[in-house]
Structure 1
Amino acid sequence: MTGAEPPLSDTETAFQDMAHAFARDVMRPVGEKLDRMTQDEILKKDSIYYTEFRPKYLALEINPVTLGELPPAELGKVLPIIMEEFGWGDGGLSVTIGACQLPPLLALMFGKQHLLQRFPVDLIGCWAITEPDHGSDSLDPSKQIFHPQGKYGRPNCVARIDGNKVILNGQKSAWVSNGPIADVCVLYSAADRGNGPDPENGVVMLVPMNAKGVSRGKFIDKLGQRPLPQGEIFFDNVELSADHIIAGPEEFQRAVYAIHCEANGQMGAIWTGSARASFEIAWKYAHERKQGGVPIYRHQSVAKSLFHMYRKVEASRALVRRVALYNMTSPMPSLQSAMATKVTATQTAFEVASDALQMLGGNGNTREYPIEKILRDARASMIEDGCNEILSIKGGYQMMDPDLL
């Protein structure tokens, strides 16, 4: 439509076509139905989440193992294309896909092949990092955002490392994506090696959700991203062998850095796709809706608004794809750049959805049009995976050169 896209390779085109067909035929219609269901209805094994969405997603065979067969430079181009198409289909379902990918992704990144075999890619995964008393704190083990007089306090979840075993106690917050349905959890926790819990040098491990002592809270009722199951996870003397550990205390800071580069980059692509969906809905509507005797596209204010929607989507996509390629091919990925993609794309998704709803007028407020759902979904995106305010502070500090101060 815009004429600003460079040609895609045959591989990129094939993945884009496959992802878009899945987003169009499965994700968008399933997401709209799930959005109107209760949490209990979604969790039933005969719900369309399990009968339509999951099997058709697994049939695509898009996961860290299969994608990992691509050269890094090619993967850096293909992955944001795939996730943008998924985001175009449904933001919440895209996040549930991303959460499923994290257990095998972390196992691959840290060379834990035995965990990849133990927890195969077709399992439902979740990522548990934030806690009831430590939301954004969990993103900041280096304490860059802490107030000078602030104290972390006792962690809500502690992994006590005792020889060749780990004992888990505590809980993770209600915002664990896929928490109510997951088979395996990527757990980020404070570590206790005998001197008390240390949130700065924690532990990352894969936890089977059927382990003795693991329980779940309710699927929380939310404004947006309602198809995405989120809820608390509780650990009561959960004892696991130490070979469940992906990254110990010495590698914990690296593991936090790594997962946020990945998660923020994927969020950038997902919500660029969501913004694109809003723009396309508004663009089409502007050609069809008549006011003042002409299609509303003829009115200057509408054309101007559509231009700014387009401008924001294109800028977001360009940043996301540039950073994805760099981070996939660089020896050290750029965390501040990944954070920039997440903040830019989520802000863009919300602004474009809001402008699109305004253009649709009263119709935009109705469930007959998908824009009101996209707006609700996009609003949540500016909080999840690190609220944009905290990411901005962290990203700013990442850019600092101490030698110049």
Structure 2
Amino acid sequence: MSTATNHIAAHKLGPLGAQPELSEMNQMVQQSVHRYAEEVMRPIGVKLDRMTPEEVIAKGSPYWEAREKFVGLGFGVDGLLELEPAERATTMSILFEELGWGDSGLAITYGAGLLPALMSAVSGNPFCRALAPDEKLGCWAITEPDHGSDMLDANGMIFHPQGSYGRPNCVATLRGDEVIINGQKSAWVSNGIAADVCILYCAADSGNGADTKRGAVVIVPLDAKGVSRGKPLDKIGQRALNQGELFFENVTLSKEHLLAGSDQYVDAVYAIHTFANAIMANVFAGTARAAFELALAYAHERKQGGLPIIRHQSVASRLFHMFRKVEAARALAQRVVHYNFTAAQPSLHAAMTAKVTATQTAFEVANDALQIFCGNGLTREYPIEKIWRDARASMIEDGCNEVLAIKGGYYLIDPELL
């Protein structure tokens, strides 16, 4: 009996791998978002990847077509928050994994675009929520030219005792009934060049000088007087995601724009960082899955030595390890989102764990996928080199993985054991 006759095919898993059966609603979510990711995100993502940063956000760019169709899918903030926590967790995990499968740069622009609306709604602030309706593109401005991932360490947990934070690059002065903003945010503000509204995290001055641990969170309409923008960054990957500097010169707003004051600042950073890292995990679990699926399909098509290369032991072994990493990353991402949406106190430590795992997995799997494509993987004729470039950025976004690992390690300290 031939080897081919003896071969027993593996049981095929579902579209989301070893995922328990979804509810009817979430099956519809998965199918509709996957269709959008395949038919809209992937082809438009390739177009945007080959355009200049200025062309990506220009009027008439395919970016705006993709965004309009995403908004049309109906995944607005209010609708998501109306779901029961466990159902919301499943829905958002499916949503962002499929978006990451389609194009991670577009997935991040959509996720960042929701942040002003989401945090305003969660905070129960109707004034700020009205400034950030779902149809307006949002951005999250926290990092500064002199302060990168350390801006996410608002409580100074990992700050060296001999270190000096130095002068903040952006300060919100809280005076009477006004908030006056001066300074700048770094070139890494996602959606910064194209956004309509910003959720700004910065140092605050309530009359005793700027304090980086007692900052302010302000919803800033980006057509406010005194706001200006830099040039969009020209990057190796995630080129569909516009990023650039924001400048504030005596931007004066009413205190109604203040989403969180000095006493709530550390908690506010914790909240947005927890959400952002968990969603990053879903997105890049999807990106890892995309790289694996492309490599698996290619390994069946490509022949060397008279056989499809998946028949070669080294390729089969590599694909197996890629598959197990994808499954582990997506399972952890879903688990963390579910925990954080249902627990009394969400866990930043868990969110960072998922983010580091998924982004590291995305890059490793994309790198292995490129190796399976071999020389073809280096060319733009095949999609894997773009995914490889896109995945590389993820290990720096939303806190570089090294800083998150240090902070995560410190969260493991049990004072009772010291």
Which category describes the TM-score, using the shorter chain as reference length? Answer: over 0.9
Tell me if the contact between 1:16 and 1:85 (Cα under 8 Å) persists in the aligned partners. Answer: yes
With structure 2 as the length reference, what TM-score do the two structures score?
Answer: 0.95
Q: Aligned pair 1:301/2:314, yes or no? A: yes
Q: Quote how far apart the aligned CAs of 1:118 are.
A: 2.8
Distance 1:145 1:399 in 2: 13
Q: Aligned pair 1:273/2:286, yes or no? A: yes
Q: Which residue of 2 aligns with 1:312?
A: 325
Q: Quote how far apart the aligned CAs of 1:63 are.
A: 2.3
Q: Which residue of 1 aligns with 2:233?
A: 220
Distance 1:136 1:217 in 2: 21
The one-letter code of the counterpart of 1:46 is G
Q: Which residue of 2 aligns with 1:185?
A: 198
Q: Aligned pair 1:379/2:392, yes or no? A: yes
Q: Quote how far apart the aligned CAs of 1:114 are.
A: 1.8
Q: Which residue of 2 aligns with 1:171?
A: 184
Distance 1:221 1:63 in 2: 30
Q: Aligned pair 1:37/2:58, yes or no? A: no
Quick one: percent identity of the two aligned structures?
A: 60
Q: Quote how far apart the aligned CAs of 1:43 are.
A: 2.0
Q: Which residue of 2 aligns with 1:247?
A: 260
Distance 2:231 2:203 in 1: 24
Q: Structure 2, unaligned stretches of length 5 or more?
A: 1-11
Q: Secondary structure at the match of 1:177?
A: coil
Distance 2:162 2:98 in 1: 45
Tell me if the contact between 1:169 and 1:237 (Cα under 8 Å) persists in the aligned partners. Answer: yes
Q: Aligned pair 1:22/2:36, yes or no? A: yes
Q: Secondary structure at the match of 1:175?
A: coil
Distance 1:251 1:81 in 2: 31
Paired residues for 1:311-330 under 5 Å: 311-330=324-343
Q: Which residue of 1 aligns with 2:111?
A: 98
Tell me if the contact between 2:127 and 2:257 (Cα under 8 Å) persists in the aligned partners. Answer: no
Residue 258 (structure 1) aligned to one of 263, 271, 289 = 271
Q: Quote how far apart the aligned CAs of 1:399 are.
A: 2.3
Distance 1:11 1:399 in 2: 38
Distance 1:200 1:5 in 2: 41
Distance 2:324 2:216 in 1: 42
The one-letter code of the counterpart of 1:43 is I
Q: Deviations over 1:38-67 (max 9, x none)?
A: 1121121111111x2121011011122111
Q: Secondary structure at the match of 1:231?
A: coil
Distance 1:267 1:16 in 2: 18
- What value does the CA root-mean-square deviation take over the aligned residues? 0.9
Q: Aligned pair 1:131/2:144, yes or no? A: yes
Distance 2:320 2:402 in 1: 27
Paired residues for 1:79-98 under 5 Å: 79-98=92-111
After the TM superposition, which parts of structure 1 deviate over 2 Å for at least 4 consecutive aligned residues?
Answer: 1-5
With structure 1 as the length reference, what TM-score do the two structures score?
Answer: 0.98
Tell me if the contact between 2:224 and 2:251 (Cα under 8 Å) persists in the aligned partners. Answer: yes
Q: Structure 1, unaligned stretches of length 5 or more?
A: none
Residue 71 (structure 2) aligned to one of 58, 61, 86 = 58
Q: Which residue of 2 aligns with 1:152?
A: 165
Residue 199 (structure 1) aligned to one of 212, 215, 220 = 212
Distance 1:260 1:177 in 2: 14
Distance 1:40 1:102 in 2: 23
Q: Secondary structure at the match of 1:201?
A: strand
Tell me if the contact between 1:125 and 1:183 (Cα under 8 Å) persists in the aligned partners. Answer: yes
Tell me if the contact between 1:23 and 1:89 (Cα under 8 Å) persists in the aligned partners. Answer: yes
The one-letter code of the counterpart of 1:61 is G
Tell me if the contact between 1:335 and 1:398 (Cα under 8 Å) persists in the aligned partners. Answer: no
Q: Which residue of 1 aligns with 2:7?
A: none
